[in-house]
Structure formats: structure tokens, C-alpha cells
Chain A
Amino acid sequence: MMKLRILTAVAALTLLFSLTARAQRLPVRDLEDARGKTVSSATLVDHKTPFAVTFWASWCKFCRKELDALAEQAPDWDTPLRIYAVCEDDSRSIARAKALAAGSEWPAVILYDANGEFKRALHVGDIPHVLVFDKDGNQVWSHVGYIPGDENTLVAELLKAR
């Protein structure tokens, strides 16, 4: 009975949070570019266009499928979309991730989050996880997981946020 009460309390809290929560702001954290130079996440906000942040890793099959799917439809986009692919590979596989990204045609700026600080600040658990922010850095949509076809929803959400 006690366990049931606790579970109910947690579920109620979650529901309450979901009803009261406002749009999450893009947290300011240091990331790295492919050359190891520091890039603040604050520079992603240009106050002109919305953007998407998608978390991926070289060992995450579905993350790569999502980025491949975006690459396949990118030539059909009327205007370029701003997508940042934040890599969660750690020191073990970051070289492989960089080689993989360099050899791909992903329509995204690749950034690296070596100890997962940016991911933790955005409360991202499993990846792939994609978040869409408006031009001022307010989160307007997020989606966890990837099923083929989800890339269409992402593009639609990015266009809607314009």
C-alpha cells in the first residue's frame, strides 16, 4: 500500500509538472567544435531563426538513422534549417565520432559534449532526443526516440517555430 501511495505521489507530481511547466530555456554550457575549441551554447541563439538540437553518438544506431534521414531530404528544403547535432561520445570514441561526422553529409553543425553537461542540463536521458527552440532560445518542442518518419515531424516543427 505504501509503495502504491508513493507511486501515485510521483505520478501526480509528474502530471502537475507537465501542466505547470513553462518552456525550458536553452541552458548556457560550454561545448566543443570538431577542433576541440570551446563553443558556448549561448551562440546557438541568433534571435532571428529557430533551431533544433539533436543528441547523437557514434554507438547510437537510431541517432545516425535520424541524421541520415535528414541528410536525404535536405536537398528538398526550400530554405536551410539550423540543426545542431550534439555528440555524446566520450573520450573513448570521440575520434571515431569525428571521423564518422566528417564522412557524412548531415545537414547539421556538429558539436561535442564530452562529459554530458549540456545533455544533463536539458534533462536528456536516452538518445536520440531532439529539441526545437524558437529564435530566442525557448524550447517549443521535444521528442525522444526515433522512428523512421520522425524527421518529417521535426522539419514541420522547425518550420512552425519560424
Chain B
Amino acid sequence: MKLRHLFCLAAALLLLSPAATAQSDGHLSGSLESSSLYDDEEDSPYKGFHSNNYLKLDYRKGRFAAGLQGEWYPSPLPGYDPALKGWGLPVKYLSWEEDAWSVTAGDFYEQFGSGILLRSWEDRNLGLGNSLGGVRLRASLPARGLSVTLLSGAPRSAANRSGYASSLVSGGNLSLLPSRLFDWDDPLGLLFETGLVHRYEWSPEADMTLLLGEEVPSSVLLHSFRLSADPGSFHFSFEYVGKGRDFTPVRHDRASDTYELQRGRALTAEASWQGGGFSATASWRYLDNMAFRASRTLGTLVPSNTLNYLPALCQEQTYMLAGLNPYETFAEGESGFRGDLYYRFRRGSALGGKYGMTLHVGGSWIEALGKVLPRQDHSRLAYRDLNIDLERRWNRRLKTVLFVSIQENSPTHGNRKATEAQNVFVFEGQYKISDATSLRAELQYLYSEERERDWVAGLVELGIAPHWSFSLSDMYNHGSTKDHYWNLSASWSRNAFKCILGYGRSREGMVCSGGVCRWQPEYKGMFIRAQYSF
């Protein structure tokens, strides 16, 4: 039935499109994305065909807009929630936009501040989509530097492909520029933001009350203040988020988990400076009991069961081996610092040469608060890393990158003294054979005395612009398991269409996108991914 509905709606929008465009400014746009895998490993629990498919359509005519997103999972890809199987229409909306205000009814995405207070967004790589279904009103007075967002809606259910969680999220966010509001001449460029979010959860599960020993409150209120300043080439921002008493698991030394009602708070501060080819940024973040979920009983089992954004503070690694054991935020309690320095050696300088050179040095240091996971052996270190990369073009054809990453990770988030260290070294070279043909190669080595010990990896990629790209890569663990994880792929793109066909073996582990991670099992087989937008 849902299949019929989806196609009827799609067909109606399709029929509307040419007529509308011919007569007015009505317009239909959309995208189609499909990722499929055939796992051919005999003893794999995922043997067989798996596929995730998305169709998104938006129709706009003047100030009116409507849209939908259909999703079809004949069998979700390995690592995605099996409950997604089947058809769903998780996003459908109507909206009206005037110059100074807009209203949306249906499913929408929203972010307040940096997202610690509230964030609903979609990330298909994670199988994450936590849109809110309800009403949103936005109003702004740009001349007075004011903008307001008010919303109320039920989060998309994380437990199935469509439908809503048994909770209601309501809130508002106000941002103002004091200089415009009060006609000040403000050399600091101050921007102030404040927000309030309330979550009401119907009938919190009885077992939560049993675990806690007292009644679990249905309502939780969060509030935030954010201030940023931009005096010249310097930027500074500060944010505070407070959270009311909420159901929280507390892990004690010898006993199993217990549960308490705890308040939460988050503090972030960020400063950056730039000038003369040099730029630097420093961030500090403190999190204490800041997990904020649509369904408290579902916990962390499904990525979509979140209402705020708590990404890992450290650098998101892009090289295969550097991202092998990523760090995940410990929302129950951590404090961390991150700094990045960039320097661009200008063209024609002694070190920059004819084409210039870029140096980046960055690092992070994150500690567990020790309040939730009582520290033992006097260790609190959860994660630290130091990353250095140097990028230089030597001539019109050759460009190289040298990258070093030194990482130390506590598998217990600072609860035990033992940590795992790994040092990653990468050399990347790109050679332009002609204007349209290029060859890129990566050679990577991971040195570690823990876990699976040493790894080596390589990648070769041939690009033939504007349509073709071929790549071959292999990650080999020569420290203990002697396993190969290889991939062969070809991609073809033309305008807004792109298709990748490949065959390979993927390692079990955490897959992260934007600092949020999900577990992915091992699989081997043929994969195809296609996307098209219009």
C-alpha cells in the first residue's frame, strides 16, 4: 500500500512539473540514490543482497513548497538497523515562505546553536535521520539583527523506517546582533544566541523506573546561551548548555550499571586568529551527562535515536589507517582541547617554491571526567593525538603530501590506565600525466604494539577526466591477523549522475561521519552505488 502511495505521489509531482514550469515558476527537483551490496562470503551472516535506496522530491511554486523522501530497504546494508527493512516515507512537508517569515508543516531538520542543544539532520552513511515531524515557524528582521525559530514535533522513530517516537520535542531559538538592535557601532561584532528545548516522553518504560527505584520524569528541559565576537582577524565564541534531570546510567567500579537522575551541562569555547598566511584555532569542550535521546530505553543502539550533536572533538581522519580506530565522544562526561595551526608558505618564497606549500599541525587531548567512570590507576586520558601534514606542489605535474598521526586511545574511556597507541605515516603523490589524466598513489604504515599491531596499506587511483576513475587499494595487517582488506572500483560520472561499481572486502569496525559513528560488520562482495540529482 505504501509503495502505491509513494509512486502516486511521485507521479503526481512529476505530472505537475512540466505543466507548472510552462505556466509559472513552479519547479520540481529531486534526487535518487541507491547503494547495494552482494555479500558472497559463504559463512557470512550477511550473505546475499542488501540495498538502501532514497528518492527525494521537492516541488516549489512561488512561496509555496512541498516535498517528500521515500526510502526503500529490501534488506538494509550490513551495519544498518535491520528494522529499516521495507518501504517508508519518513519525510513529507509543506511550507510557505514570506520574506520575513516562513512556516513548515510536516517533517523538517533543524539545528540550534552548535547542535549541543538540538540537532536533527540526515547522514545516510550512518543510517541516521532524526527529522522532527510537526510545525516550525521562523521569523527574522535582518535590519534589526533578529531571528527567531519556534518548533514542536515528534522525532522520527529510530526503531523503524517510518513513524514517530513516543516523545514530543518543543523549543525555540533566538539570535540577535546587538549592534543592529540598538544601533551601536560595535567593533567587537557581537552575536548573541539563546535557546530552550523541552522533550516530553510518553510513558517512560516501567523497567526504567524499576532500575532507578523512583519514578522517571517524562519531561526534560534544556537551555543554552551562546556568544560570539569578531574583533578584526580574531574570532571568539562561547556556549553554555544546561540540561534538566534525566535518566542516566552510572558505571561503578565493581558492580554492574546503576541508574540515577542527573542534571547535565556543556561548555564550549573557541578562539581563532588569522593573518599573513597563518591561521590558528583552539577549541575547548566540557560535557557532563549531555546525551539527549528521543527514546531513553533505546539508548545508543541506533544512531538516529539522538536529539543533539556531540561529535568527537578530535580530527576526523581521512586516510585509511589513520581512521582505523576512531574516537567516539563519551557524552556521560569528558573534557577536551583541540588546536590547529595552518601556515601557507607563499608562492615564490624560499620554502614555498614556485607553487607554495601548506603546513598543518593539529592535536587534541581529551580526558574522562572521572565522575561517571571512577578513575583507577590515576588515569583519566581518553584520547590524544598529534597530526602533521605537509602539502607541496613541485611542478605543474607533481604534488605530494606527507602526513604523520600519533594517536593514543583509552578503550575504557579513561577508566583503566592501559591505553593503545598507534603511529601512522602516509605518503601521497599525485602525478598529472596530461590535462585530463592523472595518477594518485598513497602508501601508509601504522605502527602499534597493541591490538592488531602493525598495518600497511596502499592505494592507486587513475583518473580520466571528466568521466572515469579507477582505484585499487589494500590494507594488510602484518602484525598479527595477516588479513587483507582490498578493494577494486571503477566510477563513472556525467553531470549530476555518478555511479561506482566495485568488489572488495571491508573490515569490521566503527564507521564515522562528522564525528558520529556506527558499527559496521565485515563483508566481502560486489557493491554498486549510484546517485543522480535534477
Q: Which of A24, A72, A124, A142 contacts B27 (CB 8 A)?
A: A24
Which residue on A lies nearest to B72, using beta carbons?
A6
- A: number of interface residues (CB 8 Å): 61
Q: Are B14 and A20 in contact (CB under 8 A)?
A: yes
* B430: chain A residues within 8 A (beta carbon): 65, 148
Whole-angstrom distance between the Cβ of A93 and the nearest chain B Cβ: 6
Q: For residue B228, which residues in chain A have a CB less than 8 angstroms away from its CB?
A: 36
Q: For A38, A125, A153, which residue has the most chain B Cβ atoms within 10 angstroms?
A: A125
Check B340 against A99 for contact (C-beta < 8 Å): yes
Cα A117 to Cα B11 with chains together (Å): 25
Residues of B within 8 A of A22 (CB): 17-18, 21, 27
Known: A24-B534, A99-B279, A150-B466. A123 touches B356 (CB 8 A): no
Q: Are A103 and B358 in contact (CB under 8 A)?
A: yes
Q: Is B92 an interface residue (CB 8 A)?
A: no
B207 within 8 A of A: no
B514 at the binding interface (Cβ < 8 Å):
yes
A10 interface neighbour in B32, B60, B342, Cβ under 8 Å: B32
Q: With a CB–CB cut-off of 8 A, which chain A residues contact B468?
A: 147
Q: Contact check, A35 vs B463: say whether CB atoms are below 8 A apart.
A: no
A46 within 8 Å of B by Cβ?
Answer: no
Determine whether the beta carbon of A149 is less than 8 Å from that of B316: no
| Interface pair B17/A103, CB less than 8 Å apart | no
Residues of B within 8 A of A142 (CB): 495-496, 533
B268-323 residues at the A interface, CB under 8 angstroms:
270, 272, 274, 277-281, 283, 309, 311-313, 315-316, 318
Chain B residues closer than 8 Å to A96, beta-carbon distance: 281, 315, 340, 362
A154–B73 Cα gap in the complex (Å)? 36
User: Is A21 part of the contact surface with B, judged by Cβ < 8 Å?
Assistant: yes
Query: A141-B495, A145-B491, A149-B466 are known contacts. Are A95 and B272 too (CB-CB below 8 A)?
Result: yes
Q: Tell me if A109 counts as interface (CB < 8 A to partner B).
A: no
User: From A93, which residue of chain B is reached at the shortest CB distance?
Assistant: B316
Contacts of A28 in B (CB 8 A): 97
B side interface size, CB within 8 A = 98
B434-442, B472-480, B519-527 - interface stretch: B434-442
Contact B356 A90 (CB under 8 A): no
B366 within 8 Å of A (CB atoms) = no
B438 near A149 with CB under 8 A, answer yes
Query: Contact: B32 with A14, CB < 8 Å?
Result: yes
Which chain B residues lie closer than 8 Å to A105 at the CB level?
344, 356
- In the bound complex, do residue B281 and residue A147 qualify as a contact, i.e. CB atoms below 8 Å apart? no
How many angstroms from the CA of A143 to the CA of B463 in the assembled complex?
15
The answer to whether A45 has its CB under 8 Å from any CB of chain B is no
Using CB atoms, name the residue of chain B closest to A125: B531
Q: Are A149 and B465 in contact (CB under 8 A)?
A: yes
Interface residues of A in 58-104 (CB under 8 A from B): 59-61, 65, 72, 90-93, 95-96, 98-100, 102-104
Chain A positions within 8 Å of B, measured between CB atoms, are: 3, 6, 9-10, 13-14, 16-18, 20-22, 24-25, 27-28, 35-38, 59-61, 65, 72, 90-93, 95-96, 98-100, 102-105, 114-117, 120-126, 129, 141-145, 147-150, 152-153
Residue pairs across A and B with Cβ atoms less than 8 A apart, 17 shown, are A13-B55, A16-B14, A22-B17, A36-B230, A60-B318, A72-B393, A90-B515, A91-B113, A96-B281, A99-B274, A99-B341, A103-B342, A103-B344, A116-B109, A120-B122, A123-B30, A142-B496
With A126-B498, A129-B496, A142-B533 given, can you name 18 additional A-B contacts, CB distance below 8 Å? A9-B7, A17-B14, A17-B30, A24-B27, A24-B534, A27-B60, A36-B228, A37-B191, A92-B316, A93-B315, A93-B514, A102-B279, A105-B344, A115-B121, A117-B109, A123-B56, A143-B466, A150-B466
